[in-house]
């Protein structure tokens, strides 16, 4: 199995009902990673993370002012089977990613930002899209979910699934 490592933004709030929903509708080992926004879709492997890399991440997290954002329902990528919530505003997330790009230019994706999102469903049958959206709206409504940036975490794909390897608290 190819090992991957990603850098994620985790909210302080853990929403168990959302986690349960995700577990049901994400057909991918990535569902083991708690509700998050992916900051860098590739990062150093577990064996490559040394004291210098760790210190840079600690400094970025510590110097990032704590911020709030909302998860806005509900969006889909038109060409893939992904249903997600959109973090808003994205400006503090973009600022954080810009600092990550500055410190780790090898992962800067040419300076382009990804579509920031929080996955709810992935790899479901085509005929299930409307049903999953309906189930989400029945359970959670169409209101935004208020969140606070909690930590930056390195998540690593292992043979047993995805695990959070290490994390750094925002603003502390």
Q: Is the per-residue pLDDT at 2 higher than 60? A: no
| pLDDT at residue number 54 | 96
CATH code for the domain in which residue 25 is found: 3.90.1140.10
Give me the mean pLDDT over the 6-25 stretch.
94
Least Cα distance to 134 among 74, 69, 51 occurs for 74
Q: Which residues contact 20 (CB under 8 A, 6 or more apart)?
A: none
Give the total number of structural domains in the chain: 1
Token look-up 């997600």 returns 84
**pTM, rounded to two decimals:** 0.93
Q: Is the per-residue pLDDT at 4 higher than 90? A: no
Q: Please write the tens of the pLDDT for every residue from 89-143.
A: 999 999 999 999 999 999 998 889 999 999 999 988 878 999 999 999 999 999 9
The more confidently predicted of residues 90 and 28 is: 90
Domain that holds residue 67: 5-169
Separation CA 94–CA 100 (nearest Å): 10
- End-to-end alpha carbon distance in the chain: 36
């Amino acid at each position: 199995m190819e090992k991957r490592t990603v850098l994620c933004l985790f909210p302080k709030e853990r929403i168990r009902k959302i986690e349960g929903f995700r577990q049901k509708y994400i057909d991918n080992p990535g569902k083991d990673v708690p509700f998050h926004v992916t900051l860098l879709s590739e990062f150093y492997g577990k064996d490559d993370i040394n004291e210098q890399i760790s210190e840079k991440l600690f400094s970025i997290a510590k110097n990032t002012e704590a911020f709030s954002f909302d998860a806005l329902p509900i969006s889909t990528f038109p060409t893939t089977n992904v249903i997600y919530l959109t973090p808003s505003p994205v400006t503090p997330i973009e600022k954080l990613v810009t600092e990550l790009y500055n410190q780790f230019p090898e992962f800067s994706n040419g300076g382009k930002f990804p579509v920031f999102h929080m996955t709810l469903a992935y790899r479901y049958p085509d005929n299930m899209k409307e049903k999953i959206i309906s189930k989400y709206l029945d359970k959670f409504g169409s209101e935004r979910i208020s969140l606070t940036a909690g930590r930056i975490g390195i998540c690593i794909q292992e043979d047993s699934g995805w695990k959070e390897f290490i994390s750094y608290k925002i603003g502390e």
